Structure 1
Amino acid sequence: MAPLAYVCVRPQAGAAAGEFASFRSAMRRDDLAQLDLVRGPLPDDVFDRYAGFVVGGSPFNLTDPRSSKTDVQLRVEADLERIAERAAAAGTAALFTCYGIGIVTRMLGGEVTRAYPEDTGPSSVRLTDEAAQDPLFGMLADRFTALTAHKEGAGVTPPTATLLATNETCPVQAYRVGDRLYATQFHPEPTGPAFTERMAVYRDDGYFTAGDYDAIAARVLAASLSEPTRLLRSFAARFAG
């Protein structure tokens, strides 16, 4: 069984490759495997092959009307739900990020809406009291900076989840379900330079005004991003098998 797999849900090959490299570097796992759900379905034996999963972000939006979603997006959503359901039942470990937190929230019966977007760039995140008892979040600073860029989110933690991190703009920043399923709204994996490269790929996709790229990139490059990567290393250390 391989230790962990990165699950790609980005159609843009360049952004996907950069995200994979960021997860591998942040987790310090050269043996991190890769599953590309955009270009193929989740293998039937996937839970026998890997001890756990980290799920990347995507330009897909869960709240788009079903009639507007491609067959690929619908399959991606169904495959991600399989991983989330398995982790919620303690059959594997998984950390869902950004777009992925919406998948988990919907699977748990929560509501994802367009009411809680966050601008592209650094955001301030604070831990909840419950986070102090969590084996992953309990090692982080009470307040830290993380990178965000999303058009949808949740205002209330879904049923059965324990809220671990929050902020004023998007109240549900991170939560845990049971002891093996985690989800974050923020991106825990990229360095500042890696995030600006991803911004360049999506500069015309409505996350920010294209003409503001240089100003936003400067804020990203100046941000201290130590805590989110510590979270990933803790996840890897705990669940890599």
Structure 2
Amino acid sequence: MTTAPLLYVCVRPQQGAAAAEYESFRTAMKLDESAVGHLDLVREPLTDDILERYSGFLVGGSPFNLADPESTKTDVQRRVEAGLERIASHVAAGSSPGSEGPAAMFTCYGIGVVTRMLGGEVSRAYPEDTGPVGIELTADGRTDPLFGGLAARFTALTAHKEGTASAPPGATLLAVNEGCPVQAYVVGDRLYATQFHPEPTTKAFTERMAVYRDDGYFESDHYEVVAGRVLAASVTEPARLLQAFARRFGPAAA
């Protein structure tokens, strides 16, 4: 365990949703604000010293889609993707047994960035509706230092328009489900990526849904029905995953 803090990396243009996501990560890990920094990659540059100052990086979701044609992406989205690739590459370079490099947890939109960086394919072929889904650990997942402490089958929250058919080169598949076959993987021993959202409570997720109500993740006039399904779900295991990440890679103060 290190004394350096973790860093939440915001890739959401909507500042209210980003602030809430930061709080969701921090509270899920049971860390105070001194243990989790904040970088708004939409509005701030990623500098070399940032890569060296933190023990780990937490990348949240975004309304951006990696699989969209490059010609349709804004300069902001391209800059965000380039910054995330720098973080993933930096972590992957030091992600080997015995390494003391930083760790990372890339989630939702972030898993696509890591997948592409590793030579995998991200497409619109594996979307999942907004709400709770079943997740199953693979044999490797059941023995992984982080995932191995979870139930072999659990419920998590998803809302995404893209995914991938198989883990990219160099990655070990940790979790799957029928609708989206790659739910989590690890590269080396410290670069983790999940398709599902590990951080929000069901209430926080419905509040995020309200922000993106008209963004095509669900029929806007079905909000109450979808929100009711979310609030009725039990999503205990994803927070336990983040707590395991914080214990393994977070600051000693945790």
TM bucket (normalised to shorter chain) is over 0.9
Q: Cα deviation per residue 1:69-108 (whole Å; 9 max; x = unaligned)?
A: 1111101001000111111112320000000000000000
Structure 1 equivalent of residue 54 of structure 2: 50
Structure 1 equivalent of residue 14 of structure 2: 12
Q: Cα deviation per residue 1:92-139 (whole Å; 9 max; x = unaligned)?
A: 200000000000000000000000000000010000011121000000
Deviating more after overlay: 56-65 vs 88-97? 88-97
Structure 1 equivalent of residue 113 of structure 2: 103
Q: Tell me by how many angstroms 1:240 deviates.
A: 1.1
Distance 2:234 2:46 in 1: 35
Distance 2:142 2:221 in 1: 41
Distance 1:74 1:121 in 2: 28
SS at match of 1:18: helix
SS at match of 2:55: strand
Distance 1:48 1:63 in 2: 30
* 1:35 maps to which of 39, 45, 49: 39
Residues 1:85 and 2:95 are matched in the alignment: no
Residues 1:121 and 2:136 are matched in the alignment: no
Distance 2:58 2:246 in 1: 9
Deviating more after overlay: 65-74 vs 99-108? 65-74
Q: Cα deviation per residue 1:8-59 (whole Å; 9 max; x = unaligned)?
A: 0000011101101100100111121101100111122012211110100000
- 5+ residue gaps, structure 1, are none
Q: Tell me by how many angstroms 1:193 deviates.
A: 0.5
Structure 1 equivalent of residue 184 of structure 2: 174
TM-score, reference length from structure 2: 0.93
Distance 1:76 1:82 in 2: 10
Q: Tell me by how many angstroms 1:2 deviates.
A: 3.4
SS at match of 2:238: helix
Structure 1 equivalent of residue 5 of structure 2: 3
* 1:232 maps to which of 220, 242, 246: 242
SS at match of 1:125: strand
Structure 1 equivalent of residue 25 of structure 2: 23
Q: Cα deviation per residue 1:126-178 (whole Å; 9 max; x = unaligned)?
A: 00011121000000000000000000000111001000000000000000000
Distance 1:49 1:158 in 2: 28
The one-letter code of the counterpart of 1:20 is Y
The one-letter code of the counterpart of 2:233 is A
Distance 2:115 2:205 in 1: 25
Q: Cα deviation per residue 1:169-192 (whole Å; 9 max; x = unaligned)?
A: 000000000001000000000001
Q: Cα deviation per residue 1:171-217 (whole Å; 9 max; x = unaligned)?
A: 00000000010000000000010000000000000000001100010
SS at match of 2:8: strand
Distance 1:106 1:35 in 2: 22
| Cα pair 1:2 1:33 within 8 Å, conserved | no
Percent identity, aligned pairs only, is 71
Residues 1:151 and 2:157 are matched in the alignment: no
The runs of 4+ residues in structure 1 deviating greater than 2 Å are none
TM-score, reference length from structure 1: 0.98
* 2:212 maps to which of 189, 202, 207: 202
The one-letter code of the counterpart of 1:147 is L
Distance 1:48 1:200 in 2: 36
